[in-house]
Amino acid sequence: MAENVTLSFVRAINQHDVEALVALMTPGHQFIDALGKVVEGRENLKLAWGGYFQMVPDYSIIPLETLSDGPLVVLLGLARGTYTADGWLKEENRWETPAAFRALIKDWKVAEWRVYADNEPIRERMRLSK
């Protein structure tokens, strides 16, 4: 079921398990961020997720509603975490934003992961911590 694969992907994100994420991706997996930037391929995504988890070590997705139609799954909820440039998690760098996530599932793997969220909360933390 597409919904189960999607929720497994979210669990891997919330556990910061890059290897599990990569194992759940199709070879041509595409990540599309809220600004429309596309990162493609497992190896590129392995590096990207690893870097993101260093920048936001407590990043998590909180799905509040799940909608699915065949291979398409949409999660509505929250994204949150704490931005760090130095490895220290400071309360003033914590952020949370409403978010939607769209997963396209092919052959029991995530072929596309698209994020719809306001990036301004983390950008503000990044600007303030310079």
For residue range 16-67, what is the model confidence (pLDDT) as tens digits?
A: 999 999 999 999 999 999 999 999 999 999 999 999 999 999 999 999 999 9
Residue 4, Cβ neighbours under 10 Å: how many?
12
pTM, two decimal places:
0.92
- Rounded CA-CA distance 63/42 in Å is 24
- Mean pLDDT across the stretch 60-89? 94
Least Cα distance to 63 among 45, 86, 80 occurs for 80
Q: What are the sequence ranges of the domains in the chain? A: 2-128
pLDDT at 112: 98
Token reading at 123: 């950008």
The yes-or-no verdict on residue 130 having pLDDT over 90 is: no
Residue 65, Cβ neighbours under 10 Å: how many?
9
Share of the chain above pLDDT 70, in %: 94
pLDDT at 125: 64
Give the Å distances, CA to CA, from 61 to 14, 57, 84, 86.
6, 13, 18, 23
Strands (DSSP E) found in the chain: 25-32, 38-40, 60-69, 72-82, 94-106, 109-117
The yes-or-no verdict on residue 68 having pLDDT over 70 is: yes
pLDDT at 122: 67
| 2-128: CATH class | alpha beta
The yes-or-no verdict on residue 99 having pLDDT over 80 is: yes
Minimum mean pLDDT among 67-71, 108-112, 125-129: which range? 125-129
Q: Is the dihedral of CA 23, 28, 29, 31 positive or negative?
A: positive
